[in-house]
């Protein structure tokens, strides 16, 4: 039975808990560990391609910057990391859609899927205002953290140009969640199959052929993101105006509904944002502080930070797939399937992702680093750091997939608190001690962060293991009635 066949439900009224489905009452089938593992693996694959290709947009910018010069690598790296941290605000906001959209779809409240998408876009646009202000004035702010004025200037020009990417970026992020809730995991992937190669072509034309210099890379990314946003919006319009419109909330005559009752979404989005931002910002602090050890160390850190972010997309993709799947089970009220899917997430998907990431980063560290720069000294420095990052991946993947379960449950608040403790009370404090006091430099930074991640993985999995699924399902039913 396909995902859509499982979840297109016909409703009747039940005195105990409001709207239930005839199919829910007739079908008491319990899934299996093997079925859930296969389903989440299958749906993770297009998501992996989606996130990897999307992440490649900024990675390509760094590669082309390396063809211009070491200074440009440092500037683009600071710009990339700052963009990743601040644009993660929109990823964090979109994670609330990972909770509410598939839950609404699993419960058969189809129009609510569209309304949640529309509210998600509106909330993201509101948060874009301070982001634009920060990017525009970033040169003054980054100067307090980075000593090299040339690197700061390059990063600031990069960020000012990237302001123009926000409309497409927001539409694409929220659009993916809207389609994924309906079981469509391939549209985002297919759009990026076109736009990622286009981004490479544009970088080549602007940076190398027509000699725009480093500014050619952010121009290429801006064009790519806006094409992506327009493409996914076109797919949604085609679906809802020329195809099956059951998940669309009509805008005409219902505009006020988009700008009302934001409370439940914001309550999920803010801790989800903290979960994403805490990790991203901690990595930016490491990158910025690495500049104190010299431009060569900053360049090595830039390479490994890019690779770490790139490989992070595998467990994060699995996390999104499992969050959608478990949210669907919560929406349908099937507690047994919630538990089985969670076990498949932690013990199956998490373990597999950890093995893949460790093996790739540890055994392929020299080849991976040489992609960005051919200087053997720089490659060796980066490879040594990558050894530590490879070890961190063994337990980081369990943190990432457990966070996906917490998002599915609507318990982002727990993840938000734990991320703050893990990164800012344990991780960065230990990183500063090892990096500066013990003179381990970048290796010490990553070891310290790894200790924080280990705490996070253990604590998040504890909360997942002790979940009260009955209360979680009841809480969703209350939120559904209030929406």
**Where are the chain's structural domains?**
13-482
**255-261, Cβ contacts within 8 angstroms, sequence gap of 24 or more:** 257/115, 258/115, 258/118, 258/119, 258/122, 259/119, 259/122, 261/119, 261/482, 261/483
Q: Check residue 483 and give its pLDDT.
A: 60
Tens-binned pLDDT, residue by residue, of the chain (483 aa) = 443 444 333 333 343 444 444 444 434 567 889 999 999 999 999 998 998 899 889 888 878 877 777 788 888 888 988 898 888 889 888 888 999 999 999 888 888 999 999 999 999 999 999 999 999 999 988 888 787 889 999 999 999 999 999 999 999 999 999 999 998 999 999 999 999 999 999 999 999 888 888 899 999 999 999 999 999 999 998 887 766 668 888 888 789 999 998 988 888 888 888 888 888 788 878 877 887 887 788 888 878 887 888 888 889 889 999 999 999 999 888 899 999 999 999 999 999 999 999 999 999 999 998 888 778 888 888 999 999 999 998 889 999 999 999 999 999 899 999 999 999 999 999 999 998 888 888 889 999 999 999 999 999 999 999 999 999 998 888 776 666
The closest alpha carbon to 165, from 61, 52, 20, 283, belongs to: 61
CA end-to-end distance (rounded Å), the chain: 30
Measured distance CA(331)–CA(39) in Å, rounded: 18
Q: Check residue 336 and give its pLDDT.
A: 92
Measured distance CA(141)–CA(71) in Å, rounded: 19
Measured between alpha carbons, how far is residue 410 from residues 139, 325, 441, 461 in Å? 38, 13, 39, 15
DSSP secondary structure code for residue 424 in this structure: I
Chain position carrying tokens 């052929």 = 209
Q: Check residue 243 and give its pLDDT.
A: 62
Partnered with residue 13 across adjacent β-strands are 19
Measured distance CA(346)–CA(319) in Å, rounded: 10
Q: Check residue 191 and give its pLDDT.
A: 97
Judging by beta carbons within 10 Å of its beta carbon (0-12, 13-18, 19+), is residue 266 exposed, middle or buried?
middle
Q: Check residue 475 and give its pLDDT.
A: 87
H-type helices in 137-262, by residue range? 138-142, 149-162, 166-180, 187-203, 216-242, 255-258
Counts of helices then strands in the chain (DSSP H, E): 21, 2
Strands (E), 18-79: 18-21
Read off the tokens for 316: 């994060």
| 162 neighbors 83 (Cβ within 8 angstroms) | yes
Q: Check residue 482 and give its pLDDT.
A: 62
Q: Which residues contact 144 (CB under 8 A, 6 or more apart)?
A: none
| 277 neighbors 412 (Cβ within 8 angstroms) | no
Q: Check residue 178 and give its pLDDT.
A: 95
Read off the tokens for 179: 């389609």
Q: How many CA atoms lie within 13 A of 351 on its CB side?
A: 6
Q: Check residue 359 and give its pLDDT.
A: 94
Neighbours of 342 (CB within 10 A): 25
Q: Check residue 10 and give its pLDDT.
A: 34
């Amino acid at each position: 039975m396909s995902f859509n066949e499982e979840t297109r439900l016909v409703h009747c009224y039940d005195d105990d808990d409001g709207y239930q489905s005839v199919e829910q009452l007739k079908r008491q089938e319990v899934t299996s560990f093997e079925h859930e593992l296969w389903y989440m693996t299958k749906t993770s694959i297009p998501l992996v391609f989606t996130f990897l290709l999307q992440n490649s947009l900024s990675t390509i910018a760094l590669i082309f910057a390396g063809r211009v010069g070491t200074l440009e690598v440092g500037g683009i790296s600071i710009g990339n990391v700052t963009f990743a941290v601040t644009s993660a605000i929109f990823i964090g906001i979109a994670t609330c859609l990972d909770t509410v959209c598939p839950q609404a779809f699993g419960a058969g409240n189809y129009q609510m899927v569209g309304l949640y998408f529309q509210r998600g876009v509106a909330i993201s646009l509101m948060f874009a205002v301070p982001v634009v202000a920060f990017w525009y004035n970033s040169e003054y702010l980054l100067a307090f953290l980075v000593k090299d004025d040339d690197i700061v200037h390059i990063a600031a020009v990069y960020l000012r140009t990237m302001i123009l990417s926000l409309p497409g970026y927001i539409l694409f992020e929220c659009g993916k969640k809207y389609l994924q809730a309906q079981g469509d995991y391939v549209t985002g992937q297919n759009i990026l199959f076109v736009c990622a190669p286009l981004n490479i072509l544009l970088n080549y034309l602007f940076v190398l052929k027509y000699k725009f210099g480093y500014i050619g890379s952010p121009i290429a990314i801006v064009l790519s993101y806006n094409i992506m946003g327009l493409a996914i919006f076109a797919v949604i319009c085609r679906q809802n105006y020329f195809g099956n419109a059951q998940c669309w909330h009509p805008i005409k005559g219902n505009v006020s509904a988009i700008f009302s009752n934001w409370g439940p979404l914001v309550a999920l989005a803010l801790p989800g944002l903290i979960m994403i931002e805490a990790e991203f910002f901690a990595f930016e602090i490491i990158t910025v502080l690495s500049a104190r050890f010299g431009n060569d160390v900053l360049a090595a850190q830039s390479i490994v930070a890019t690779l770490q972010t790139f490989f992070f997309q595998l467990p994060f993709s699995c996390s999104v797939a499992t969050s959608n799947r478990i949210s669907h089970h919560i929406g349908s009220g099937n507690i047994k399937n919630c538990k089985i899917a969670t076990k498949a997430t932690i013990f199956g998907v998490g373990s597999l992702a950890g093995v893949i990431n460790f093996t790739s980063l540890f055994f392929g560290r020299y080849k991976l680093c040489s992609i960005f720069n051919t200087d053997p000294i720089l490659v060796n420095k980066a490879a040594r750091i990558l050894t530590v990052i490879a070890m961190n991946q063994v337990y980081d993947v369990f943190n990432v997939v457990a966070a996906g379960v917490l998002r599915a449950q609507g318990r982002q608040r727990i993840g938000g608190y734990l991320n703050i403790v893990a990164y800012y009370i344990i991780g960065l404090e230990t990183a500063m001690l090892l990096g500066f006091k013990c003179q381990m430099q970048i290796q010490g930074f990553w070891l310290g962060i790894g200790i924080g991640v280990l705490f996070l993985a253990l604590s998040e999995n504890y909360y997942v293991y002790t979940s009260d699924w009955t209360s979680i399902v009841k809480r969703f039913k209350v939120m559904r009635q209030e929406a």
